[in-house]
Structure 1
């Protein structure tokens, strides 16, 4: 079967997923670089309901099958499962770290679609602890200062006099915020190892690959206390209420002053299994 990944350009996180699914695809699967040559198209859902449904309809008209990787629901413009069910029911398989059947029940809808409930993964061969000084109090990520808890983390770090490592474009916030975009994964892993904590502070909904990768490198995740974060990071993360920016800054300051709880070898081993890309990707292909 010939498979094509329908992916927004320049999205490093989605590219990681595609690469892992490609690496662990069975011999019967051929990854192609043109949608027209595909038998099945893998659609990443990160937002626009109308565009996704339009694409799915176009594929159906061309006699092509599709699978859905649902990365967002409640934060989309169509937050009800009712709006997405027609897409999910036509998909060969729907994959998500969100417990979509539970969300369907919340909306009093029937979850009658082929569902694969799984976290995203992290490459333990690359993301592993390195014996370096804990230079940074926390690693943040995201496109700008106001998203994904970056602002709150920087302000709390300044209250305790510690620098921040930011994965993303230069934010021009001063010498105490080291930004790095486009670095190799090996260098990224070294930087994660130099952090006490890693931020998974995306409001409302997300998985947060940096939290999984950073944890394998020895940085303790900090996340908002929501069910989808608890489902995959319950044993690993420090959880805080998803309150106002000022309250989040106060919560982070307390955590920073107390310091990170050391990550144990047993925790690392459990995370390696939970976020194992081979197991996750193989489970996807088996469900087609």
Structure 2
């Protein structure tokens, strides 16, 4: 039962156990991760093109995506607003001018273009493309190894995580409410509960959740998970400035796992440098949970 879980966790653990303190190595890991995400999403698009009854499956992808995103995000936001009201986050920061949110959104949508490019190539039915799914499995193992190296290179220690109570508490609220949302999505869509929980476990990390879910549940569920988590990041970019003044924890929690990388500049500009430690701890915890939970619910 747990063989698939171990296959996914082993490269992650090996990567985390290796020292990755040199700045040049961290830069190389980050660069390779960016390229591997594009490669695997390209393979995911190819696999999608080889589905039987393609038109019906595309409708299913967007149906699963919209329902799961609505359930998960609504549960997250309701729980975070309740947490904000019970545990208000005192601060004195005045919001700064923000970088172009449209530009950041377009950067996220570039990954959609990679999936579409793979899909269009796959429609050619060129014989070698049939091996795309097998190639993506090996690429996935390498990507998880790199993720382990990146988490180790972030320099976060258990002491730092425990000491930053706000980041840890917001991460726990996001985690628990996402699980409730995943269960509701599974019931609404008529999917197994474990599938709904796995879809909720990406926490906005679309480049990883789409890949892992495709390997475990096939291109339809994998693509739905990808668009579900991509939608979360796009909403975070747009809503952070509106939420940050009165609902600071909600703004952080909406970012999910991306609060330690992609959405961190928006959080910092909107919420000041004091939000950065909580954002890094929050993103680190959810980034660590995401592959473990997806693997667990997929086993």
Identify the TM-score tier after normalising by the shorter chain: under 0.3
Higher Cα radius of gyration: 1
Whose strand fraction is larger, Structure 1's or Structure 2's? 1
Whose helix fraction is larger, Structure 1's or Structure 2's? 2
**TM-score normalised per structure 1:** 0.25
Higher RCO (CA-CA < 8 Å; seq separation 6+): 2
